[in-house]
């Protein structure tokens, strides 16, 4: 990671800013990530829950409203 090999698992988007503080819950039917994020519209903190998908052996978490625009 120090040589630039890592990538962020969570990044903000136009709707959700500052996601973090994540906890993982392994499940038989699919893993879940619980984390906080700030609503970019209201500025209020929110508890978010997302499923973790695996692509090429690497975890991927999607935030509602993901469009590539990062805050």
In tens, the pLDDT along 6-57 reads: 778 888 888 999 999 999 999 998 899 999 999 999 999 999 999 998 888 8
CA dist 46 and 29 (Å) reads 25
What's the total number of domains in the chain?
1
Do the domain assignments include residue 35?
yes
Domain residue limits at 22: 16-61
Residue 5 lies in a domain: no
Query: Is the model's pLDDT at 70 over the cut of 60?
Result: no
Is 53 a domain residue?
Answer: yes
Pairing, β 45-55 against β 16-25: unpaired
């Amino acid at each position: 990671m120090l040589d630039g090999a890592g990538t962020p698992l969570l990044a903000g988007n136009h709707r959700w800013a500052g996601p973090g503080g994540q906890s993982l819950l392994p499940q038989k039917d699919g893993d879940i990530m619980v984390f906080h994020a700030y609503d970019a519209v209201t500025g209020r903190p929110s508890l978010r829950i997302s499923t973790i998908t695996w692509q090429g052996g690497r975890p991927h978490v999607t935030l509602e409203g993901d469009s590539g625009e990062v805050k």
